[in-house]
Amino acid sequence: MWYSSLGIISIAEVSGGPDDGGIGDLKVELWQILKRNCTTTFCDSVDHLAIMLYVEGDLKSFGPDGFRKIARSRKDRDICVEVVISKKSWENRTARRMRALLSDVVFKSILLFAERIKRDGDSIDDEALKRAVVTVLNEFNKGG
């Protein structure tokens, strides 16, 4: 599958440029920790969870902050959430506060993944998934 080299949870970004407040670098660091430590989706019907960040910049806006779309492909066995982060949300934040922002987005994305999977009638051990992701986020937030 297209995601086979990305691990169980991936994070991608579309930047409104030219600056994203450091989110691009931090999301790579977080993804590396996720890839190392999250080895299952805890769901037999989904193999990959993808988080797509749309980060507003001076050149392009993507609308208001928030989760704008969640899509699932049963054929590809993946699920994706699109998240908009406005410039107002990241501008003038310290590195520690940027980590907290990204951690919050990832955790809420995991909750949305689990909710969608359950709504579709599939089973997921969402408590185990949350515990695995919280462990990763704790490690990530110690950095910087």
How far apart CA 36 and CA 59 sit, in angstroms, is: 34
How far apart CA 116 and CA 96 sit, in angstroms, is: 30
Q: Which two tokens stand for residue 28?
A: 């790579």
Share of the chain above pLDDT 90, in %: 94
- 29-84 pLDDT tens trace: 999 999 999 999 999 999 999 999 999 999 999 999 999 999 999 999 999 999 99
pTM to 2 decimal places: 0.94
Half-sphere exposure of 100 (CA within 13 A, CB side): 6
Half-sphere exposure of 102 (CA within 13 A, CB side): 32
- Domain limits, the chain: 9-142
